[in-house]
Amino acid sequence: MKLEVILEKDEDGFYVASCPAIKGCHSQGQTKREALENIREAISGCLEVLNEQAKRLGRRHHAELFRIAV
């Protein structure tokens, strides 16, 4: 899976990375490389949380859950 990431330099000189496809998924770093490594980790964490939320929702509604590769 590949996602678009926006990288901007803030007023303090840090690089701020955001993943627009995942609401609220942001990170930062002192260098571009660090910011990109950190957003990769943040994306992974966000997807893990969203996946767990989907599982709980499926159980609550007695729905059938499927896992697909994208």
pTM of the shown model: 0.84
| pLDDT greater than 90 at residue 67 | no
**15 and 31 in contact (C-beta within 8 Å)?**
yes
DSSP state of 22: S
Distance, CA of 6 to CA of 18 (rounded, Å): 5
56 to 20, 22, 50, 53: CA distances (angstroms): 24, 19, 10, 5
Strand order in the sheet with 15-18: 6-9, 15-18, 26-29
pLDDT tens digits for range 9-65 = 999 999 999 999 999 999 999 999 999 999 999 999 999 999 999 888 888 888 888
Counts of helices then strands in the chain (DSSP H, E): 1, 3
